[in-house]
Amino acid sequence: MSRIFILTFVLFATLFAVNAAPLALEKRDIQIQPCPGLPPDVVGLDVTVTPDPVVPGTEETFDIKGTMKKDIVTGDFLSIAFIDNVVKQPIGDPLVVDICSLPGATCPTKAGTAFSTTQKYTAPKELPTSYAIKIGIGHHVQPPNVELIACEIALVRS
């Protein structure tokens, strides 16, 4: 009889210890992928965001690399925007930078040449539970129309 109590006690103690142990937290890395539904001449980019996950109201560093299928010329831009997935509108002001004005940039950059830049951008102070981060490179054709050269997007759900 005492063996049954001991066995039962050990089983319950093991069960409580297993349930009380903290579960391994899964780090939610930002998964960035090419924008869907774009023409085949629009390339994807290799983008790394630090810190990851995004911390609202803090400065984020975007390391952006890629090889374009079209030349980068004067007037082309790099854009980073946080977008609310529910209302499909930007959250705050997007970052729009003239690529040719970046330090170390040479324009024109011929198609097939590697492109690399690091941009800092402060994340909005308040982010909804579901948002996207869109990184794009494009030509100004006729405002507000633009021709995309490269595009990446990350869907984030808290």
Residue percentage of the chain with pLDDT more than 90? 25
Residues 6 or more apart whose Cβ sits within 8 Å of residue 119 = 61, 62, 64, 78, 80, 95, 97
CB 44 within 8 A of CB 32: no
* CATH architecture for residues 28-157: Sandwich (2.60)
- pLDDT (mean) for 127-151: 84
| pLDDT score of 129 more than 90 | no
- Alpha-helix runs per DSSP H in the chain: 2-20
Q: Rg of the chain's alpha carbons, rounded to an integer?
A: 23
Give 23-35 pLDDT, tens digit per residue: 444 445 577 888 8
Query: Domain limits of the chain?
Result: 28-157
Give 48-74 pLDDT, tens digit per residue: 898 888 889 999 999 999 899 998 888
